[in-house]
Structure 1
Amino acid sequence: MSNDTGTSPIAPTGSGYRAFVLGMLLLVYSFNFLDRQILGILAGPIRADLNLSKTEFGALGGIAFALLYAGLGIPLALLADRTSRSWVITGSLAVWSGFTALCGYATSFSMLFWCRLGVGVGEAGGVAPSYAFIADYFPPKERARALAIYSLGIPLGLAAGALLGGYIAAAVNWRMAFIVLGLAGVILAPIFRLTVREPARGLYDKPVPKAPPSAAFAILARKPSFWLLALGASMSSLCGYGLALWLPSVLATTLHFDLLTLSRFIGALFLTGGCAGVFLGGWLADRLGQADRGIYAKLPAIAFVITAPLFALGISTHSPLLAFLFLLLPNGLNILWLGPVTTAVQHLVPAPMRATAAASFLLINNLIGIGVGPTLMGVAADMMTHRFGGGDALKYATLGALVFYLIAAVLMLLAVKPLRRNWVD
């Protein structure tokens, strides 16, 4: 089995080194979401300093990020499938962290918009190659758990972004929060490259005829399960990314939190609920999915049905204790899908095409989820402000968006049967 570049040694496959690699990938992924969440937790001071409307701020968290993040994902995944995935991940981390630091120097909406575009350029190359990396380091029976552990980077990064961003901004200002956390990612990039080696492609999988990575597009296009999984995840992400950006602002208004209290509250929600939900999804998928591949779609469907009403209760209450209790469970259930669905997508194509398959899935998920969700909520809130006032308008905008979780549940249920047929061992 040859490696990616023909020049770097094949990575060792011992359990200790595999755990180290997974830990490094998790750390990098945490920075991915840390750099996103500081925008949401610092919405108040950023909007006040730059005089931004809700529509403009929603665009910073949505369209500005998603345009190049989604569009460049496939080209960078093709590059990763043909060359070195570790180099692509390293370069991506350095670019998005550098632009995160530059966000701290923005003095207008347009400057911050361009910096967020740069963050999206970098993050475009981080996730899909990492999915393929993990699929080549771990055998099929362990992949959902490994991908779920990797996906812990989402709640860990969101929690760290909320806590560190809030504390640094309170101690200095919002600009210093972007600069410090961005530079930390720049420092991590060369450490990752020096310590993480390329795995052999398809090490734990059946041999398949050679085909270019671009052949993944034709394979996926013919599989209904791919479209249903991608659109189902997109409907969930539309609401999830919107809530990640706007929920801090909603809670600051309804619960009358200052910045430090808000950062602790949001950080605790992401850290406890999010980590439990992501790991539970991977564990259940590995445990139940060997007997029925449809479980990889059925588990997220069940989670989404429970998520919507609990979020509605948590957003509507004015009690901090009830808000925390109502929001804790859906903050885990709304991302439970990550381990099962990302594993399923890896099994819709042969091993050499996995990064490209993941990027194709992420293109749909991110264009709809990130591109539409945060911006849609901001636009809806601005449209309702004259009738309900600023705080209530944003609350009603987030409540209305919860219907997308129910749409996601329906799409995931429709994916169950075709996924059983389309699975590639």
Structure 2
Amino acid sequence: MVAAVARESGRAGGGYRYAVLALLILVYTFNFLDRQILGILAGPIKQELGLTDSQLGLMGGLAFALFYTGLGIPIAWLADRWSRTWIMTGALATWSAFTAACGFAGGFWQLFLCRMGVGVGEAGGVAPAYSLISDYFPKAQRARALAAFSFGIPVGSALGILFGGLIAAKVDWRAAFVFVGLAGLILAPIFRIVVREPRRGQADEVEGAPIPEAPPAPPKGGVAMLLRKSSFWLISLAAAASSICGYGVAFWLPSFFERSLGMSLVDRSLFLGAITLVGGVIGVWLGGWLGDRLGAKNKAAYLLVPAGAFMLALPCFALAINTTSLTLAFFLFLIPTGLNLAWLGPVINAVQHLVPAQMRSTASACFLFVNNLLGLGVGTYYFGAVSDLLTPRFGAEALRYAIYSGLAFYVVSAVLFTIAARRLKHDWVD
């Protein structure tokens, strides 16, 4: 089987590229599984280690974001010049090892440092994958392929919630970290054996004729070219504003279900896992499908689709947070969970087309730097800090009001995406 895959790896067509995409999705699933598992485990960790919501927010956001964002650009620079598959293999092994190490933490600082280590590994797990997909799939299918890759977000988040909660309930929270970390270490060599490095730019064809392999990325000046484009900054800040709310709400919803709805660890694992999986997969695919369909006629649609999705998500989230009916809450959360992820395919595709093929990893890393430094670094801590601030007045309901306040970031995101849509055509690189 491996030999057959290797023979197929020399070309982008056939079933091989879908096998590559499937493995990339699996790696991204572990990326988010290891990233989001802390949310469902926050309750038992807080109880055993005696932590505050602010400390949990720091571990869920800043501890991860510091190195994840800081190392992302130099690693992507290397990925534009060296083997992306080797970089991703090393990244997967690193973040999986640190995830397992979280299970042995004895206090706040030990767990904080382990989460920083997870961020170090995951810094090399996304931008090279975006570039690989762009070299395996033609332009007409790229937004959908990138959206399919982004299935790793809802699937990984759902599995982190589900497995983390169930293992913690059956054994303890430490076993949950060790189990998922070891599973990632097993996947790393399989990924390296199966996935081969494609020619850069091989999927960019003109009337069916493959263009020559893209030259190496320029040693300097490439990032400066990207940063001069106003659409890049608008897209990055728009995505970051949405991620402040998206990452923050995703991290704190398990605690909200415990405090405001009185759900047990197992019940909230099943409840939130189902919402994240079903709503997330539908939303990611819908966004990619709309992006390819509408973007072919008008490039602005790649950014107008997420702008509309966030404006629809806001009232749905507000209603969902306000209900006390579990049945109604399930369906109300399902809609904004999907809309919250609809931006991934079209926006990532737009970022890929702000630069030539040989700079796509670097462009993706620059985008992820802004998006995750603010989204991850600020979002999770923001909701925890506001919850601590409001606790003297609202008690266990403080988290509900903290989430209300964070929904305003969706408005900021929608406005920035709409402005960026007007400038995208000027900065687009075919």
TM-score range, shorter chain: over 0.9
Deviation at 1:308, TM superposition (A): 1.0
Deviation at 1:289, TM superposition (A): 0.7
For residues 20-72 of structure 1, give each alpha carbon's deviation from its aligned partner in whole angstroms, at most 9, with x where no partner exists.
00000000000011012210011110100110000000000011000000000
For 1:228 and 1:416, locate their aligned partners in 2 and report how far apart those are by CA, in whole Å: 9
- In structure 1, what is the equivalent of residue 12 of structure 2? 13
For 1:129 and 1:48, locate their aligned partners in 2 and report how far apart those are by CA, in whole Å: 38
Identical columns (%): 58
For 2:219 and 2:419, locate their aligned partners in 1 and report how far apart those are by CA, in whole Å: 28
Indicate yes or no: 2:245 matched with 1:239: yes
- In structure 2, what is the equivalent of residue 228 of structure 1? 234
Indicate yes or no: 2:103 matched with 1:95: no
Deviation at 1:126, TM superposition (A): 0.4
Cα distance 1:12–1:308, how it changes in 2: closer, same or farther (>3 A)? same
For 1:211 and 1:53, locate their aligned partners in 2 and report how far apart those are by CA, in whole Å: 46
Deviation at 1:420, TM superposition (A): 1.3
Indicate yes or no: 2:337 matched with 1:338: no
For 1:316 and 1:214, locate their aligned partners in 2 and report how far apart those are by CA, in whole Å: 51
For 1:79 and 1:113, locate their aligned partners in 2 and report how far apart those are by CA, in whole Å: 27
Q: After the TM superposition, list the runs of 4 or more consecutive aligned residues in structure 1 that deviate by more than 4 angstroms.
A: 206-211
- In structure 1, what is the equivalent of residue 3 of structure 2? none
- In structure 1, what is the equivalent of residue 392 of structure 2? 386
For 2:249 and 2:426, locate their aligned partners in 1 and report how far apart those are by CA, in whole Å: 34
For 2:262 and 2:219, locate their aligned partners in 1 and report how far apart those are by CA, in whole Å: 52
Cα distance 1:157–1:214, how it changes in 2: closer, same or farther (>3 A)? farther
Scaled by the length of structure 2, what TM-score is found?
0.95
For residues 169-214 of structure 1, give each alpha carbon's deviation from its aligned partner in whole angstroms, at most 9, with x where no partner exists.
1110000000000100011001000110011101123666764164
For 1:223 and 1:10, locate their aligned partners in 2 and report how far apart those are by CA, in whole Å: 35
For 1:361 and 1:132, locate their aligned partners in 2 and report how far apart those are by CA, in whole Å: 13
- In structure 2, what is the equivalent of residue 24 of structure 1? 23
Aligned letter for 2:409? F
Preserved CA contact (<8 Å) 1:10 1:200: no
Q: What does 1:304-343 correspond to in 2, within 5 Å?
A: 304-343=310-349
For residues 281-313 of structure 1, give each alpha carbon's deviation from its aligned partner in whole angstroms, at most 9, with x where no partner exists.
111111111110000000000000011111111
- In structure 2, what is the equivalent of residue 3 of structure 1? none
For 2:13 and 2:419, locate their aligned partners in 1 and report how far apart those are by CA, in whole Å: 39
Scaled by the length of structure 1, what TM-score is found?
0.96
Equivalent residue in structure 2 for 1:253, among 239, 255, 259: 259
For 1:14 and 1:336, locate their aligned partners in 2 and report how far apart those are by CA, in whole Å: 27
- In structure 2, what is the equivalent of residue 5 of structure 1? none
Cα distance 1:176–1:147, how it changes in 2: closer, same or farther (>3 A)? same
For 1:35 and 1:386, locate their aligned partners in 2 and report how far apart those are by CA, in whole Å: 33
Gaps of 5+ in 2: 1-6, 205-210
For 2:380 and 2:156, locate their aligned partners in 1 and report how far apart those are by CA, in whole Å: 18
Preserved CA contact (<8 Å) 2:9 2:16: no
For 2:221 and 2:87, locate their aligned partners in 1 and report how far apart those are by CA, in whole Å: 21
Aligned letter for 1:393? A
Indicate yes or no: 2:407 matched with 1:408: no
Query: What is the alpha-carbon root mean square deviation over aligned residues?
Result: 1.3
Preserved CA contact (<8 Å) 1:228 1:414: yes
For residues 129-186 of structure 1, give each alpha carbon's deviation from its aligned partner in whole angstroms, at most 9, with x where no partner exists.
0000000000000000000000000000011001111111111000000000010001
Local SS of the residue matching 2:341: coil
Local SS of the residue matching 2:429: coil
For residues 347-372 of structure 1, give each alpha carbon's deviation from its aligned partner in whole angstroms, at most 9, with x where no partner exists.
00000000000000000001000000
Q: What does 1:90-169 correspond to in 2, within 5 Å?
A: 90-169=89-168
Equivalent pairs, count:
417
Aligned letter for 1:109? F
Preserved CA contact (<8 Å) 1:213 1:352: no
Equivalent residue in structure 2 for 1:361, among 367, 370, 382: 367
For 2:253 and 2:219, locate their aligned partners in 1 and report how far apart those are by CA, in whole Å: 39
